Structure 1
Amino acid sequence: VLGERPPLPRAVLVGASRMKVPLSWLRDHVDVALPVPELVERLTLAGLEVGGVQLVGVEAPPGLVVREESPRPVWHRDKILIAEVLEVRKHPDADRLSLVTVNYGKEPHQLVTGATNIKVGDRGQKVIVALSGSVLIDGHADTAVLKQLKPTKIRGVPSDAMVCSAKELGLADDHEGIIILEDDAPVGMPLVDFMGDVVLEIDILPNMARCLSIIGIAREVAALTGKELRQAQPRAFPASAGAPVVGVAIADATLCSRYSGTLIREVRPGPSPGWMQRRLQLAGMRPISNVVDITNYVMLEWGQPLHAFDMDKLMARAGGKQPTIAVRPARPGEKLTTLDGNQRELTPDHLLIADAAGPIALAGVMGGAETEVSAATRNVLLEAASFNPISIRRTARAFDLPSEASYRFSRGVHPELVSSAALRAAELLCQHAGGKVAGSVDAYPAPLPAQVVSLPLAEVERSLGIDIDADEASRILRALEFRVEQAEPGTLRVTTPPHRVDIQDGPADLIEELARIHGYDRLPATLLRDQLPRQRTNRPLVLEERVRDILAGCGLQEVMTYTLTTPEREQPLLPGPREYVQLANPVSTERSALRQTVLGSVLEIAALNLRHRDRVCLFEVGLVYLPVQGERLPNEQRRLGVVLAGPRGQEFWESPEKPPAMDFFDLKGVLATLFAELHLDGISYKPARAAWLHPGRSAEILTGTVSLGCFGQLHPALNDRYELGRRTVLVAELDVEALLAAVPERYVVEPVPEFPPVRQDIALVVDESLPAAQVEEQIKAGGGELLRGVRLFDVYRGPNLPAGKKSLAFALTYQSLERTLTDKDVAKVHQKIVGRLEKLLGARLRA
């Protein structure tokens, strides 16, 4: 059966974070004149891949293909409008329904609603009205189904319009209450003009962490389109508001280079403004309260995470005195209950925000429950800081607490952003939470100096293959907010802006910026001007691919699995104590160590597939890592893992019986095909003693005295461990390096024989403990050049044989390349073989 390896899945951006960017928010900071499809293409070519586009109430722009997981309604301009509630009366014939009179710019209009968040006597609320003919999501359906609104009678009262919930407009799943807009929403305005939007879903790679903000994306758009970036600085507060409000002690400036605290008094927690809630929702965040929403809003806008503490709770912990905030590693035995209600056991690897009473937050990851902001909060301490990326990444992974804040900190946040973000958040808290700035503190023990990089324009041309003159290079870099000066003819002196922490010493990073903004698609494709250098054949790589092709040709499918595992997951296959290479910062607790066998990974994939089908034939060529005593680094080896399970073939109309299950010899046949295709000589087998194999249905593979690995039936005790049921599972694990080392550099092709073969059978009675392979080896040794083949075709145990004996029957093929063999020629060799077997193995011919 011929098979073909399936293609690899579509490439994914490893480590990318998807950021949702509403165009309405982006337009606050840059004029976006490009059509959406062109903007998507320009951003993608500049390294900001737009992985999706979400339409909110608007029609798809021409040329843009949008793949929606569920249907979304289009808010037609003359059908879905903003209206004001004039009167709410009780329905005459239904307790749960109300009659609502609204004004949407024309004459008053009455409709029926069952909304629970407006009641009799209400008036003045701004709501969203859909008129007859509107197409909305059916609010009563379990799934998103579009439905056209038609005039009807509801319990005897005509109604040809409706007030809309978030679900009906395709904004959320909430259908219990209608949307209540802010008081200044303009009556009669089409909803699409007020709330319609296009949201770009941009995959931000780790090296583009500066774009994890609306302003960061706007800066890129401004540079790509030649528009001006609008980045209004938040207003400064009076000097009297700068009085220190807390003490700050930073234990290690390499872990926290800057820490700012701003005290805002007399805040009134409550809902944030409607426009802010909508922007947060479009950006993928859930509105909570004005204080929390403002910290999230500023993080999304500026890229600087913030955290709000309840100042009164800090004061209470300090005994009514001015608290001192310490940024330090945790002490052994310390614990912290985080905002999610879980108590965390801390180690010195975790960076903390603490006061004199103990920990109050996991720095850059999550706040503590004892100092959280609540509805009763009146005074807020606003934290803005710059933490060490490695420390934050380690803490977030240790507790499995990924968040928008920890993701940004773990990619690097420039300390110069701290002051701007703190001022912006304070400004919004004063505007929308009634707060007053009462003081601030800013500890900045380790200012990050700007990088000054020399950029030779000749190096730009050498790297990109095009001539970008000084004026164009300066324009591009200044658009990205670099400071550019002419150092000398042909060289620019470039100073990095405060938001860039990724520029290293040397021109390469700056050349990349020039290429991105100039356009990778505009770089010429240039062929080498010289002859291609001679290529050396990588024999191990070629042979490894050959192994893959052979196994695929046998009908097996290749899998690729993680090299990371845990010792506990491998313990069934590798019992006993073992030293593993452990990761210092594991991605998860399930991927904390380097594996020592590929078979466990393939068995897990087989179990997953066998839940949905009854047959699997899988293999993997992958790396294992074996610690070497006294050595710092492990020994990296390539292993081949094979798993077969299920019926031998598919059911066929001509054969009514169900195909039998694959067994030991099916797997042996696959491996024998592999060895034959690789032209391996001297392959032999002996009983295997691997703990993961069935003791009576397994074998070790040898070439000479070198072991290639083991194969056979998986030990039945491991079937339950891997959730494989009661089926027979065949497995093999081979050392790829040893296998490829046995492949000959050259092999001889024999001519097709001209003379006929002669077959003679021989049945031998031997000891039960004698392996058939040993008998076959002696037959070959005695047969010489005339013996062309030996095949075991029968094994007999039973009556007519002495106790402790068995009968082995072999088919022997004799053939000469020079002449036709006579009976005498064959008899002579045959007798020699029999004599050798009797003498060396104590065998006798079976009568």
Structure 2
Amino acid sequence: MRISLNWLTELVDSQLTPTDLADALTMAGFEVEDIEDRRAWADGVIVGRVIACDPHPDADKLSVCQVDTGAEAPVSIVCGATNVRAGVYVPVATVGTYLPVVDLTIKARKLRGVPSAGMICSLAELGLEKEAEGIHIFQQSELTVGEDARPWLGLDDVILELTSTANRADALSMVGIAREIAAIAQVPLRLPTPSSPSLDNGPQSLQIELPDAKACPIYIGTVLENLQVGPSPAWLQQRLQAAGTRPINNVVDITNYVLLEWGQPLHAFDRDRLQAVAAGTGLSLGVRYAKADESLQTLDGQMRSLSPDTLLITANDQPVALAGVMGGEATEVNQTTAAVMLEAAYFDAAAIRRSARSQGLRTEASARYERGVNPAELTLACNRALQLLQDLAGANPVSQTIGRTASGDIVPSRTLELRLDRVHQILGPVTNITPGAACPLPEQQIQQILARLGCQVGPTEQDRVWTVTVPAYRYRDLEREIDLIEEVARLYGYNHFADTLPQEASGGGLSAEAVLAQSLRAALRAAGLTELMHYSLTKPESPQQVLLANPLFAEYSALRPNLIDGLIDAFQFNLEQGNGPLNGFEIGRVFWRDDTQVREAQQVSGIIGGDPRQGRWTTGGREQPLSWYEAKGLLESVFQRLDLQVDYRRDHQDSRLHPGRTASLWVRGQQRLGTFGQLHPQLRQRRELPASVYVFQLDWQLLVTCLATERRQARTFKPYSAFPASDRDIAFFAPVEVPVADLQRLMSKTGGPLLESVTLFDEYRGENVPAGQRSLAFRLVYRALDRTLTEDDIEPIHQNVRDVLEQQFQVSLRS
């Protein structure tokens, strides 16, 4: 927000320089981004009067002016403006004046042979407008030739560019900033106190209907007649321009002025045009949400299609304005307006936020409603506008109708308890009371700070506990005890509190989940995979995806339901760019819709494939695709590094994967960890990918449960045996549907601690093998840590393994 110091000094007595004031506001939590000193824009520009204006003897578009600047003799100035004429008062930049906006130093010189000692200025050259068609001509009558022109131009001012936090809705107004400065500098505050308007006792021709008590609990409509629409006085235009608002006419300028002064948006309708849109004898104003297929042309000239989230002002149920956002073009005030209906209303912050977002529109009014205006000062702001309309437009208030629901009668009020001990505990001691020593903040100081903020402080039955009544304009901000403590620290000054460090510092560390993430990344990188990162946004392709309500692009209008699709796209993109196959992994969040709920989870996915070799002379230049077992081996090496036992089971649920080369991954025999498989040939051909590409997807939460819980035992060192191993082979016919993993698990469990490893070394299907079975051969290695095993040690165990296999899986032993 732009703060004019000339305007501010009318509201609060502050003797601080602009720099000191900016520092004080910044320390209090209001960041001052820029100090715009307008006094330097026209230093040396004075008021001059054109005595004579003659055509230039040698140039058709130039004029030679004799200008009275208060000196002993008039000065000759050559001017190229078409609106210059004798008898007008103009701003004159004297010789030696520097105009920083146009980066020009005025010098005495000749133009086409005629001396010129100065320059008659336009508003663009003075920095008040971007473009100007001619010089500026003063309209004021009480000018004195030779005096400083800056006060008449509004250039004797300093503007502060100030940014307030989202919780300080009251700071979006001059009154709010004045209250803040009065509290910081401990100086008196002078706020305008308009009186209630005297209304003609005519019939009430205006009715207010408020069907939604939450969206609009209060609506004040005032009808004014016999007003004269025209330009605003210079002081009003200058204040609006200083705040960054373009003057339009006196009626609209007054509503903008009250918006800037009190933070309360107002809107003026042309009463006669409003009645014409209503198309009836009576006039009933209402506030409701838009219906289907309704539209409205707003003041910016755009025809807007309305949605059910758009809050409207209606006249006899006809849309006339976007409530709290922008008025309608059909009812705007123009030069022919003779009567207006002034709107002063309180709208719900959430309703205006949704309404403005539905139209992709944000205005000065909606910005204030979205943060929350003060309903307790609604009548005061309305009376202020009525007073200005009477003074500056000659308006005559005729009638006023107030629509108020049950919730609109409630004045926002909040009383909090503040514990003095809690204040001292949170803030600690201060250092600026006793030199060289730190002491607690005095009770009287705390009470004075709260009183300067507009709070009422009273005692309670408990010792060292106060009741603090929050003012209405801070109702949305001060909600808890800690908020009051923050205000005490902010106003007293953060730099006055002791900045001692804690006596004991506790060591930091990573959580078990963070350690697991580091270990998993290290294991995947060790397997030759590169970590990838993709956007969580993608294009919609399935009804289970979560769609965005207001996407920037159609390609990024949904949340990703899995990580594999992004990895396939990255693999294809790298091939197309000539970078070769990409073996990568990604850890990220996925989203999906389950019935009516939106769910979110963390996943780990990877992609492996192609021929990573650099030279292929041994294969005659032909690619050698990665086999299923090689890809499985890379994934198993990751599990081995994590010390995680994983079983593989046949699976064909994912249509993107090969139905005969896909396995589900299980831990502890009951919990599904994820999926590993080869891409489906049709998908591979459609994407023009290499012959064999494999992907895997793991459930991160299950990994955390298995590897990052307190029950997880630390990995212990197991020494190598110094004694030789003894191996035995076992071969048998087994049903094809029996997984090898189940056979290995049974043999390892039955063999006990002496069975070191079980390895499949042969599989055969064909001649001499019974139908529906396959021949499998395993090598079992036995070893002990403390001795060399004998035949008597091994044979009973090995025979027990054979017997258990026959009992549980009905295998036919061959050896």
> What is the TM-score of this pair, normalised by structure 1?
0.68
Please state if 1:262 is matched with 2:222.
yes
Please state if 1:749 is matched with 2:711.
no
Which SS does the other structure have where 1:255 is aligned?
coil
Q: Any residues of structure 2 matched to 1:454-473 within 5 Å, and which?
A: 455=418, 457=420, 460-461=423-424, 464-465=427-428, 471-473=444-446
Q: Any residues of structure 2 matched to 1:135-150 within 5 Å, and which?
A: 136=100
Please state if 1:682 is matched with 2:646.
yes
Match of 1:395 among 349, 355, 358: 355
Match of 1:499 among 469, 473, 476: 473
CA distance in 2: counterparts of 1:57 and 1:642, whole angstroms: 58
Please state if 1:477 is matched with 2:450.
yes
Letter in structure 2 aligned against 1:639 = Q
Q: Shift in Å at residue 337 of structure 1?
A: 0.4
- Whether contact under 8 Å (1:561, 1:601) holds in the other structure is no
Match of 1:549 among 515, 518, 535: 518
Deviations 1:99-129 (A, max 9, x none): 464859455352454xxxx415545264474
After superposing the two structures, state which structure 1 stretch, 255-264 or 479-488, moved more: 479-488
Q: Which residue of 2 aligns with 1:370?
A: 330
Which SS does the other structure have where 1:376 is aligned?
coil
Deviations 1:17-56 (A, max 9, x none): xx343444433322344455554454344343x1x52243
Letter in structure 2 aligned against 1:251 = P
Which SS does the other structure have where 1:256 is aligned?
coil
Residues 325, 777 of structure 1: CA spacing in aligned structure 2 closer, same or farther, 3 A cutoff?
same
CA distance in 1: counterparts of 2:346 and 2:468, whole angstroms: 24
CA distance in 2: counterparts of 1:718 and 1:103, whole angstroms: 85
Q: Shift in Å at residue 639 of structure 1?
A: 1.0
CA distance in 2: counterparts of 1:755 and 1:558, whole angstroms: 46
Match of 2:41 among 53, 69, 75: 75
Residues 507, 639 of structure 1: CA spacing in aligned structure 2 closer, same or farther, 3 A cutoff?
closer
CA distance in 1: counterparts of 2:630 and 2:391, whole angstroms: 76
Which SS does the other structure have where 2:285 is aligned?
strand
Match of 1:217 among 177, 199, 212: 177
CA distance in 2: counterparts of 1:89 and 1:648, whole angstroms: 87
Q: Shift in Å at residue 308 of structure 1?
A: 1.4
Residues 778, 286 of structure 1: CA spacing in aligned structure 2 closer, same or farther, 3 A cutoff?
farther
Letter in structure 2 aligned against 1:740 = V
CA distance in 2: counterparts of 1:612 and 1:689, whole angstroms: 32
Letter in structure 1 aligned against 2:82 = K
After superposing the two structures, state which structure 1 stretch, 364-373 or 502-511, moved more: 502-511
After superposing the two structures, state which structure 1 stretch, 361-370 or 466-475, moved more: 466-475
After superposing the two structures, state which structure 1 stretch, 484-493 or 591-600, moved more: 591-600
Sequence identity (%)? 31
Match of 1:737 among 698, 701, 708: 701
Match of 1:515 among 489, 492, 509: 489
- Whether contact under 8 Å (2:219, 2:345) holds in the other structure is yes
Q: Which residue of 2 aligns with 1:6?
A: none
Residues 731, 87 of structure 1: CA spacing in aligned structure 2 closer, same or farther, 3 A cutoff?
farther
Q: Which residue of 2 aligns with 1:26?
A: 8
CA distance in 2: counterparts of 1:84 and 1:729, whole angstroms: 87
User: Superposition RMSD on alpha carbons, in Å?
Assistant: 6.5
Q: Which residue of 1 aligns with 2:401?
A: 441
Deviations 1:309-335 (A, max 9, x none): 1101122245574522223455x4472
Match of 1:335 among 254, 276, 294: 294
CA distance in 2: counterparts of 1:228 and 1:661, whole angstroms: 84
Which SS does the other structure have where 2:454 is aligned?
coil
Q: Shift in Å at residue 517 of structure 1?
A: 2.1
Please state if 1:344 is matched with 2:300.
no
Q: Which residue of 2 aligns with 1:314?
A: 274
Deviations 1:678-719 (A, max 9, x none): 332226586775456798998755445543335789999999
- Whether contact under 8 Å (2:563, 2:590) holds in the other structure is no
Q: Which residue of 1 aligns with 2:164?
A: 203
Which SS does the other structure have where 2:643 is aligned?
coil
Which SS does the other structure have where 1:204 is aligned?
coil
CA distance in 1: counterparts of 2:47 and 2:663, whole angstroms: 78
Aligned residues: 758
Q: Any residues of structure 2 matched to 1:685-764 within 5 Å, and which?
A: 689-690=653-654, 701-703=665-667, 704=669, 706-710=671-675, 733-743=697-707, 745-746=712-713, 747-751=715-719
CA distance in 2: counterparts of 1:604 and 1:25, whole angstroms: 62
Residues 204, 674 of structure 1: CA spacing in aligned structure 2 closer, same or farther, 3 A cutoff?
farther
- Whether contact under 8 Å (2:277, 2:330) holds in the other structure is no
Residues 413, 778 of structure 1: CA spacing in aligned structure 2 closer, same or farther, 3 A cutoff?
same
CA distance in 1: counterparts of 2:257 and 2:633, whole angstroms: 64
After superposing the two structures, state which structure 1 stretch, 693-702 or 335-344, moved more: 693-702
Please state if 1:194 is matched with 2:162.
no
CA distance in 1: counterparts of 2:402 and 2:390, whole angstroms: 20
Deviations 1:245-266 (A, max 9, x none): 6222333444323211222334
CA distance in 1: counterparts of 2:360 and 2:35, whole angstroms: 33
Please state if 1:54 is matched with 2:34.
yes
CA distance in 2: counterparts of 1:110 and 1:178, whole angstroms: 15
- Whether contact under 8 Å (1:396, 1:402) holds in the other structure is yes
Letter in structure 1 aligned against 2:341 = L
- Whether contact under 8 Å (2:531, 2:586) holds in the other structure is yes
Q: Any residues of structure 2 matched to 1:110-259 within 5 Å, and which?
A: 110-113=77-80, 118-119=81-82, 121-122=84-85, 124=88, 126-127=90-91, 129=93, 134=98, 136=100, 174-175=130-131, 177=133, 180=136, 183-184=139-140, 187-189=147-149, 194=155, 196-205=157-166, 207-240=167-200, 244=204, 246-259=206-219
CA distance in 2: counterparts of 1:285 and 1:561, whole angstroms: 40
Structure 2 residue runs without a partner (length 5+): 430-439, 615-623, 728-735, 762-777, 790-800, 802-808
Please state if 1:302 is matched with 2:262.
yes
Structure 1 residue runs without a partner (length 5+): 1-18, 60-73, 139-145, 652-659, 760-767, 794-809, 822-832, 834-838, 843-847
- Whether contact under 8 Å (1:103, 1:187) holds in the other structure is no
Residues 104, 512 of structure 1: CA spacing in aligned structure 2 closer, same or farther, 3 A cutoff?
farther
